[in-house]
Amino acid sequence: MMKLVTRNYLWSEVTKYVNRCDMCQRFKNCTEVLAEKLIVTEVPKKLWMYLIVNFITKLSLVARKDLILVVYNQLSKMAHFVVTTKDTLAEGLVQLFKDNM
């Protein structure tokens, strides 16, 4: 089939024709994986049940603090920002969380 097309037409002309042809565009094979169905996440029922915790790093040193701990509540969309240092261990972060929430 390909030999028949290339014998009588230039490849650039065939490409232009296929790109402009409505029928060709509708019925061409899709090579991409189709997206899955969206899964609806459940809405939190109580405040401070679902949290997102993140860090803002690589900040300039101010009052010997160079990191911000960000705690975000999904239900109320409220965020708390706690300044600390990058050398703080997990136990220290837990204590910061308890003291500032």
Q: How far apart are CA 28 and CA 23, in angstroms?
A: 8
**100: which DSSP letter?**
H
Confidence of residue 18 (pLDDT cuts 50, 70, 90): confident
Q: What pairs with residue 68 in β-bridges?
A: 56, 83
For position 75, what pLDDT does the model report?
A: 85
For position 2, what pLDDT does the model report?
A: 65
Report pLDDT digits (tens) over 44-84.
Answer: 788 888 888 888 888 888 888 888 889 898 888 888 898 88
To which H or E segment does residue 22 belong?
helix 22-27
Per DSSP, the three-state class of 48 is coil
Which of 100 and 92 is assigned the larger pLDDT? 92
